[in-house]
Amino acid sequence: MSLTMYNPQWGAERPIRGVLFDMDGLIVDTEKYYTRFWQEAAACYGFTMTPEQSLKMRGLGSKAGVDMIRSFFGPQGDYFQLRAKRIQLMEAHLSRHPVEAKPGIGELLTALEARGIAAAVTSSSPRERIERYLTGLGLYHRFQKICSGRELANGKPAPDIYLLGAETLGLDPGECLALEDAPSGLLSAYRAGCLPVMIPDLSLPDETTLPLLYAKADTLADVIQLLP
């Protein structure tokens, strides 16, 4: 088990009372599909999206997504058109290949339950998809609250989803670990005043994300070491 602390002083003033979970690439092993089908969706409309570009789409809300697509393809790049095609392609694939849970999620949720620490999902995905994925894995009932960024004016990397997650648990953001795999989500959690913990999926922390981190864990089970 491996855990690396980067800014331990951030958590020194108050105990951890809640854990806020991203979903894609963190609870469920779906980020590999997002990156694949963003590229395939772009190709359907005559654009070439590189693997590096597809990684930058992870976890973005609509406003940030519009800006990112325009930075790739200019004003002719229609984020909503590409996203609709990506969803269509990805859902067709997942109808034949159900999602799988990421390692350690069961152990971490059990540890939270034993300690009486609240858990909420804070995902950019639509509520229906969150419920479907988590229910299929038998995990939905293990979270006290479900928050969807699609129901907010500002998605990640704005702080809104993590502010909402803490609020729904009745906690201050500084009392909450925020578990993320993607840079946009880590920035969202940092801006909200949470304690951002990266569990890498498709990329490792770099010079941009390292200053945002409270800690980095190799798996979700490693996060147990941070609990009081």
Task: Give the amino acid at 84.
Answer: A
CB within 8 Å of 198: residues ≥ 6 apart: 180, 181, 186, 205, 209, 213, 215, 216, 217
Whether 201 is a known active-site residue: answer no
DSSP 9: G
Query: Among this protein's residues, is 160 annotated catalytic?
Result: no
CA–CA dist 24, 4 (Å, integer): 22
> From residue 89, how far is each of 44, 60, 114, 168 by CA, in Å?
11, 19, 40, 33
Return the ∠ at Cα 118 (arms to 160 and 152), rounded to 5°.
20
Separation CA 187–CA 161 (nearest Å): 11
Catalytically active residues are 22, 24
